[in-house]
């Protein structure tokens, strides 16, 4: 940044009177001038005025001109838009289009999240109800362990997941077998995922017993399609969160750049004008006009 300073000094000294008056008595003007000079000398001798006051000095520090320079903090602009996309652009006095655009993306992303997350939860409830009706784990409660080697499960259906385990392996506990997966004790998200994803649990589907040669019964295929639709909706909702986060970051960096551009534009055409009285001696001052342009 360069600064050009122009200083105008205004002073007029007039001396009047005919040459012949030099040989006559002092005029009134001469007497007044002598009195002023004498008073100035007395001030210097009394120590009220230092020798530095006899110099012509102009100090430009802290000048406040009639044109005020407005500064926009890039840090503030960054933080504003990081909190609310578009706020920093408004602070940096960007085009109105940018705040509207960033705010629209923010509102749209959250609206999409709410919509798709709700749809995903509804579809999740739907496929879980479907599994509860069409996949049978088998009731192993109220078992009779009178004979530990041959326990009796009066409520266990043979055509069920644990009923098939009992028939094939003489146990209903898959944790005691050399299986890759163990069914959770409660119906969690993992529970519903496993019964439709792994062939180990195919015997629990009602359609399996209609045709045991069909590894993928129709009900399981339907169930997996329902789970996929629900997961797709939830994935779309998560994508909207990522869009919102990206929108915050882009808006924040753009706001900081906008603040820098604003400052450069302000500094590119700044004029300052200042008028004041400056002392050039112990007893004399003259008006000084300072014109400054920063670019």
- Summarised one tens digit per residue, pLDDT across range 43-66 is 445 554 444 444 444 444 444 444
* Cα gap 60→38, rounded to integer Å: 32
Characterise 62 by phi-psi region: left (phi > 0), alpha (psi -120 to 50), beta (else): left
DSSP character string of 200-211 = GGGGGBGGGGT-
Give the residue carrying structure tokens 């050009």. 4
Mean pLDDT of the region 121-147: 93
* Cα gap 215→202, rounded to integer Å: 7
Confidence at residue 5, expressed as pLDDT on a 0 to 100 scale: 47
Dihedral of CA atoms 50, 53, 55, 57 in degrees, nearest 10, equals 140
User: How many CB atoms lie under 10 A from the CB of residue 242?
Assistant: 10
Confidence at residue 177, expressed as pLDDT on a 0 to 100 scale: 87
* Cα gap 52→172, rounded to integer Å: 105
Mean pLDDT is highest, among 137-151, 204-218, 248-262, for 248-262
Confidence at residue 57, expressed as pLDDT on a 0 to 100 scale: 47
- Summarised one tens digit per residue, pLDDT across range 144-163 is 888 877 889 999 999 999 99
- How buried is 145 (Cβ within 10 angstroms: 0-12 exposed, 13-18 middle, 19+ buried)? exposed
Confidence at residue 44, expressed as pLDDT on a 0 to 100 scale: 44
Mean pLDDT of the region 261-275: 71
Beta strands in the chain (DSSP E): 3-9, 270-279, 285-294
Contact 256, 75 (CB under 8 A): yes
* Cα gap 217→219, rounded to integer Å: 6
Which among 256, 200, 241, 236 is positioned nearest to 81, based on CA atoms? 256
Instruction: Specify the range with the lowest mean pLDDT, choosing from 17-21, 121-125, 199-203, 230-234.
Output: 17-21
* Cα gap 215→134, rounded to integer Å: 16
Confidence at residue 202, expressed as pLDDT on a 0 to 100 scale: 92
Confidence at residue 125, expressed as pLDDT on a 0 to 100 scale: 96
Instruction: Specify the range with the lowest mean pLDDT, choosing from 25-29, 57-61, 203-207, 244-248.
Output: 57-61
- Summarised one tens digit per residue, pLDDT across range 91-114 is 999 989 999 999 999 999 999 999
């Amino acid at each position: 940044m360069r600064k050009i300073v122009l200083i105008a000094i205004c002073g007029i000294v007039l001396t009047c009177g005919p040459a012949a008056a030099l040989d006559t008595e002092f005029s009134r003007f001469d007497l007044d001038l002598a009195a002023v000079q004498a008073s100035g000398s007395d001030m210097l001798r009394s120590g009220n005025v230092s020798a530095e006051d006899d110099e012509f000095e102009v100090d430009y520090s802290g000048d406040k001109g009639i044109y005020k320079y407005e500064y926009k903090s890039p840090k503030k602009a960054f933080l504003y838009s990081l909190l609310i996309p578009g706020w920093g652009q408004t602070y940096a006095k960007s085009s109105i289009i940018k705040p509207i655009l960033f705010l629209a993306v923010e509102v749209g992303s959250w609206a999409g999240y709410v919509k798709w997350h709700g749809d995903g939860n509804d579809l999740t409830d739907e496929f879980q109800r479907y599994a509860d009706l069409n996949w049978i784990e088998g009731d192993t409660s109220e078992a009779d362990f009178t004979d530990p080697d041959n326990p009796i499960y009066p409520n266990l259906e043979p055509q069920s997941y644990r009923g098939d385990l009992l028939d094939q392996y003489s146990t209903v506990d898959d944790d005691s077998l050399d299986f890759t997966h163990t069914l959770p004790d409660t119906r969690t998200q993992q529970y519903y995922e496993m019964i439709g994803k792994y062939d180990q649990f195919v015997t629990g589907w009602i359609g399996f017993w209609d045709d045991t040669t069909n590894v993928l019964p129709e009900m399981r295929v339907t169930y997996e399609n329902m789970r996929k639709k629900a997961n797709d909706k939830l994935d779309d909702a998560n994508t909207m969160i990522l869009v919102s986060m990206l929108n915050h970051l882009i808006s924040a960096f753009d706001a900081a750049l906008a603040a820098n551009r604003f400052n450069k534009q302000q500094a590119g055409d700044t004029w300052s004008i200042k008028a004041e009285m400056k002392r050039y001696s112990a007893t004399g001052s003259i008006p000084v006009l300072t014109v400054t342009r920063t670019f």
